[in-house]
A and B are shown apart, each in its own frame.
Chain A
Amino acid sequence: KAGVTQTPRYLIKTRGQQVTLSCSPISGHRSVSWYQQTPGQGLQFLFEYFSETQRNKGNFPGRFSGRQFSNSRSEMNVSTLELGDSALYLCASSARRPSTDTQYFGPGTRLTVL
């Protein structure tokens, strides 16, 4: 089975722009979670999607949004980028909700905001 894939792997943007990141889960997995990792804050939960519905959202501003498609692929969008949004963005998929199942992580998208 192919693993979790994320595109693009690297991205450079400037302040004020918006960005869309993509995550393709393992085939058959219905849950996709997104995480932000920075040197200062470590790993933080962004949101979780299950069967095309956002089930949980972490403590992030409304500039961070996402969606999940019928094939379970997920996208996250960050609008009006700030310097502090520079981070590694990771997605993880699981067959069931994360509380009851092992998550498989993608390689991440490294976003740099200049």
Chain B
Amino acid sequence: KNEVEQSPQNLTAQEGEFITINCSYSVGISALHWLQQHPGGGIVSLFMLSSGKKKHGRLIATINIQEKHSSLHITASHPRDSAVYICAADYMNTGNQFYFGTGTSLTVIP
């Protein structure tokens, strides 16, 4: 079954803290995507990963294909990072259709 599990569901951090959000998927994937959704609904694609690690500014995404697990890290968190972070799996057995995690609501307090 093409499931995606994400944790934690909610996260509150102090400004400057290092944050980790986890995502697990069930079977082989073509790619794992990390998305950011701000209040109001707009979604931005942060990373598309099929192996290894990617970095963009203070955001780092990693994936372990053998363990079927991905993490999104935010270094030196800032209040503007407050958003919902969603992982999405593009499974090989379906292809080109995403299965989404339930999202992690992050609040960074100044």
Q: Show the binding face of A for B, using Cβ within 8 Å.
A: 33, 35, 37, 42-45, 48, 55-56, 58, 88, 90, 92, 97-99, 101-105, 107-108, 110
26 cross-chain CB contacts under 8 A: A33-B96, A37-B41, A42-B102, A43-B86, A43-B98, A43-B103, A44-B100, A48-B96, A48-B97, A56-B94, A56-B96, A88-B41, A90-B41, A90-B43, A97-B96, A98-B96, A98-B98, A99-B30, A99-B90, A99-B95, A102-B48, A105-B35, A105-B45, A107-B41, A108-B42, A110-B41
A42-B103 contact given A48-B97, A110-B41, CB 8 Å threshold: yes
Closest-by-CB residue of B relative to A107 is B42
Q: Looking at chain B's contact residues, is the secondary structure mostly helix, strand, loop, or mixed?
A: strand
A45 with B98: CB separation less than 8 A:
yes
Q: Looking at chain A's contact residues, is the secondary structure mostly helix, strand, loop, or mixed?
A: strand
Q: Show the binding face of B for A, using Cβ within 8 Å.
A: 30-31, 33, 35, 40-45, 48, 86, 88, 90, 94-103
A104-B45 contact given A42-B100, A97-B96, A98-B90, CB 8 Å threshold: yes
Q: How far is the CB of A10 from chain B (nearest CB, A)?
A: 11
User: What 8 new A-B contacts, CB under 8 Å, besides A98-B96, A98-B97?
Assistant: A33-B96, A42-B102, A92-B43, A103-B33, A105-B35, A105-B45, A107-B40, A108-B42
Task: Pick the most buried of B95, B96, B103: most chain A CB atoms within 10 A of its CB.
Answer: B96
Cα–Cα distance between A55 and B96 once the two chains are bound (Å):
8
